[in-house]
């Protein structure tokens, strides 16, 4: 299953600029059946993706988790603002 495509399908409808979204798979150090994805976006879009009290983020995690269970894989999703990385590079 193409998890990145699934995540893009869900996430693109929430953000103002879908082209600015970066989804990266992080290799698991513990189990080969664990999948961890990092979603990077501008801070205003990250706020939309997380939602109040994390309700949007939890819904995204739940949908991707269900897809993973079909293949007996455990999925994790982390969110990160792109502005934080740009400030680090500029220092």
| Separation CA 59–CA 51 (nearest Å) | 10
Q: Which domain holds residue 68?
A: 1-17+41-78
Asked whether residue 70 is assigned to any structural domain, the reply reads: yes
Number of domains in the chain: 1
Percent of the chain's residues with pLDDT above 70: 91
Convert the pLDDT of each residue in 51-64 to its tens digit.
999 999 999 999 99
Asked whether residue 90 is assigned to any structural domain, the reply reads: no
- pTM comes to 0.83
Decide: helix, strand or coil at residue 75. Answer: strand
Residue 49: which of 76, 14, 24 has the closest Cα?
A: 14
């Amino acid at each position: 299953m193409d998890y990145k495509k699934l995540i893009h399908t869900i996430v693109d409808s929430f953000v103002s600029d879908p082209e600015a979204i970066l989804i990266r798979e992080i290799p698991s150090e513990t189990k080969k059946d664990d999948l961890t994805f990092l979603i990077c976006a501008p801070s205003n879009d990250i706020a939309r993706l997380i939602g109040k009290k994390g309700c949007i983020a939890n819904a995204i995690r739940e949908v991707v988790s269900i897809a993973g269970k079909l293949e007996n894989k455990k999925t994790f999703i982390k969110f990160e603002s792109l502005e934080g990385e740009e400030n680090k590079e500029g220092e």
